[in-house]
Structure 1
């Protein structure tokens, strides 16, 4: 199969391509009502400055009609090709959104100038209506954020993440055993694996089914978070607070699942997701029968570390919600890559057989001895970008970059998908090529093109759970390659069923559904999984 068949279809449609005239009139009226909210001084300052280029705004509506309804990453990347590293759009209410389309711009601003680029815009659509202001990824860069991140890093940072390796190995073996027994259910089992691992680490709760109440809660809540973080959602969040309070109750304007669910239902899901597993841990501790977990550890040290219960609940919710969905997305992307690039799978399995053999499974102690497996891990992060558009930052004060004014209060978003598919850094970017991380003499070399530098965010807002995520994905890749063969599923005529990468929309992008075949690599593979 050629590379052109393995990637994505770059076609897209804009947000309001199917709106009728009445819809347009409604938007015009709304923009007239709420668009003139800037002060005269600010208007004068911006009008006299050189702002970043972008699609030409129209009177009253700005770039509302240009905002992508689907294929966000492709639309923004095309803007980057047309306008450059910085692309600016203007939304209803006059708020500016600037997309960063190069690695250099993202690093220069988000890392080198992190002091003024680490804040978050207000999200009345989800914070007030749905009640997810607990998520430290979305809250402003303030003392609440600092305390929550400090607690999270104290257990999931690089110094403590090794404590979970044994559990991650065990949970991976269990999942691989299930996959070989029930290969038709592989997508559901990948989600179950992610949820099981996080639930065990955070709450020490054993989850046996994807229908578990806790798993279903996190899926529903993350659907809301994902939709509300897309560029299209800025059309409501860009309104002044007084007017967004009105719009957040009119579902007509909400994207995706937010339009389909009541505020009461979304709030109930959020509260259940946070409180049900936490209450389980507290009850077990009161009975004296609990086992170690993230929450139990924090509760036991609550007084010594000066932690309040609300902080513990919220930090646990962050690990639970974000970790489960991103992990499932990456493992599915890995399997899809192995289907379409069998030569990569064969090369990786030859490395495992040479270094480890078939008498045991790879463990974390083997990581440095398996450079090609590590390169596959890196390429999975790049090839399918789990967070294609970074969570928006809000600029605290006026700044200049590349001769342009970036006005205070504007939202700034990294086009992570575009950066990780930039042919200047990653030649032939739509292809899955672990070899790109090796030097000409065959040594692993990530000095110039490490996708991890961009995939987990930047500066003060870099993903606090990145080391745990890396370990979870690496051990899954290594042990699955050691024990299984992943290939195209065949139809009734014996023909290969195509499996394309079709990323879903949202904050965390999943590979779209596909089919595959999973069989043991050798006769003892299943017994090896059970024995270990």
Structure 2
């Protein structure tokens, strides 16, 4: 009996240490209050306080009531809502070591979707992916792809000239063609919807999985062990189908690119760069598919918002066109080198990013350890949501925020750097900031400038020939797209029509 006592000491020490951790954490939580928030219901907690229609707007309403840091308890899970830029920067930027993890997702696990960079947990493998993605989008490397973006944008102009009513499909094709060329070195033939359909499919699945409240199994993880035939377990069949479909798309794109390199020769691309650097094939395959889906989908959403804004705000369109006429002239189309002389057009692209925030609440972070902020206790393991949409509507920085007004970013005809740049929050925060943001902004600029220089965008007409009133309506997913709308797109003059035709001859 006495001989067995020493063997029990390690277990007793572990037990005592565990108890101390629990007691100290409880004591700390008792000393510091949780952030304010709505009163939770028994069992459900604050599940009914989660948005039903508009993620950003309804979360902003909670922040208006309780402050820029709000605490929610959803079925036992702590959720911290950050409603201000300042709070997001303090936690996600300055304390990024504690706030760069991702929440656990049952659907991500069941679909094996954690190879997509945005879903990866913070750690050594994430850092390896981050390093390679950062190197893929360095400024000097991105400038090599400007001719590709410019040429594909001019093909977009040609397509708008040929069939303006199908503008939405043309925009989707254009960004899929640009990203598949830059990432894989593949050329998308005109009218071939395959590549944008693949990008759209990848993005749609990822958006569905990352939208809060989409799948009941995220709230009740134990449901993942139910048989697929059990009532309410339809997510299992969905996850199995998505798992197979996503892997097939990723592998098809990579193998198609490798085959094209072998048969048609090498075209400079991210694939050739990774091949030269002898990056692990699985790592390369995963990063390229991530860049492909994200790059084609997010900028596509921004350009649709741009087209809608131009139809709704004709005075903004005219001011941008006047600047383009003065700087670029009537003898050519805009190029990247023109941007420094186009402050109004540049301000217009910033306003597009602000007016329609593509990721209203970003992708949630997760706190690793307990923390405190302004006297409030932030439990470790909390889901952290930064309401990027609310930041874009802060009247202290953007008076009359629902109005589309590029002048808010200008002073004396030049960019006003004292006004908060939307790119400081719409691409995320801290170590989780989007690595492809510069590529996306470049694509947005050349597309907006080129369309404005060549075309006039107006609302559709009703049966009496009167312009219809347009308004911004969006879906309610983690990545926000304007709902389908109609508009008229016509060349500004016969000369511009000929210029567009000549640009792709």
TM-score by length of 2: 0.91
Over 3 Å counting, the alpha-carbon distance change for 1:506 and 1:530 in structure 2 is same
Give the aligned CA root-mean-square deviation in angstroms: 2.3
State the shift of 1:318 in Å.
0.9
Pairing partner for 1:412 from 380, 384, 396: 384
Aligned 8 A contact 1:96 1:410 in 2 = yes
Pick aligned residue for 2:329 from 320, 332, 357: 357
Answering whether residue 398 of structure 2 is matched by residue 426 of structure 1, we say yes
**Mapped partners of 1:318, 1:118: distance in 2:** 19
Q: Give unmatched runs, 5+ long, in structure 1.
A: 1-37
Which stretch shows the higher mean deviation, 338-347 or 283-292?
283-292
1:479 aligns with 2:443: no
> Segments of 4+ in structure 1 off by > 4 A?
38-45, 247-254, 258-261
Higher mean C-alpha displacement, 147-156 vs 513-522? 147-156
| 1:136 and 2:112 matched | no
Equivalence for 1:263: 239
- Alpha-carbon distance, 1:526 to partner: 2.5
Corresponding position of 1:334: 306
Give the SS at the match of 2:309. helix
1:163 is aligned to 2:144: yes
**1:87 and 2:66 aligned:** no
SS at match of 2:110: coil
Q: Distance in 1 between matches of 2:30 and 2:213?
A: 25
**Residue-by-residue CA offset, 1:324-371 (whole Å, 9 max, x unaligned):** 110110100001110111000000101111112111111111101000
Aligned partner of residue 231 in structure 1, secondary structure:
coil
CA distance in 2, matches of 1:278, 1:479: 31
Superposed, which structure 2 residues align to 1:78-477 within 5 Å?
78-92=61-75, 94-125=76-107, 127-208=108-189, 212-233=193-214, 236-239=217-220, 243=222, 245-246=224-225, 262-287=238-263, 289-302=265-278, 307-439=279-411, 441-477=412-448
Which structure has the larger Rg?
2
The residue correspondences of 1:452-531 to structure 2 (distance < 5 A) are 452-531=423-502
1:464 is displaced (CA, Å) by 0.0
Q: 1:7 maps to what in 2? A: none
Q: Distance in 1 between matches of 2:238 and 2:277?
A: 38
Change (3 A) 1:148 1:111: same
Structure 1 Cα separation of the partners of residues 311 and 502 of structure 2: 27
Q: CA deviation at 1:118?
A: 1.0
Indicate the larger mover: 42-51 or 337-346: 42-51
Contact 1:281–1:290 (8 Å) recurs in 2 = no
Please state whether the residue corresponding to 1:196 is helix, strand or coil.
helix
SS, match of residue 118 in structure 2: coil
Q: Matches of residues 70-81 of structure 1 in structure 2 within 5 Å?
A: 70-81=53-64
CA contact (8 A) 1:124 1:244 kept: no
**Offset at residue 60 of structure 1 (A):** 1.1
Shift of 1:227: 1.9
Q: Is 2:43 aligned against 1:54?
A: no
Question: 1:428 aligns to what SS in structure 2?
Answer: coil
Mapped to 2, the partners of 1:386 and 1:317 lie a distance apart of 20
What's the CA shift string for 1:52-91, capped at 9, x where partnerless?
A: 1112111111112222232111110100101110112111
Please tell me whether the aligned partners of residues 215 and 235 of structure 2 are also in contact (alpha carbons under 8 angstroms).
no
Q: CA deviation at 1:245?
A: 3.1
Offset from partner CA, 1:142-179 (integer Å, 9 cap, x none): 11111112112212122311111011010000001101
Deviation per CA, 1:277-327, whole angstroms, max 9, x where unpaired?
10012223344633222113212331xxxx211000000011101011101
Unaligned runs of 5+ in 2: 1-20
Q: Which stretch of structure 1 is more off in the superposition, 74-83 or 289-298? A: 289-298
Structure 1 position 211, deviation (Å): 6.2
Q: How many residues align?
A: 483
Residue range with higher mean Cα deviation, 127-136 or 397-406: 127-136
Structure 1 pair 426/47, CA: closer, same or farther in 2 (3 Å)?
same
Task: Give the TM-score taking structure 1 as reference length.
Answer: 0.86
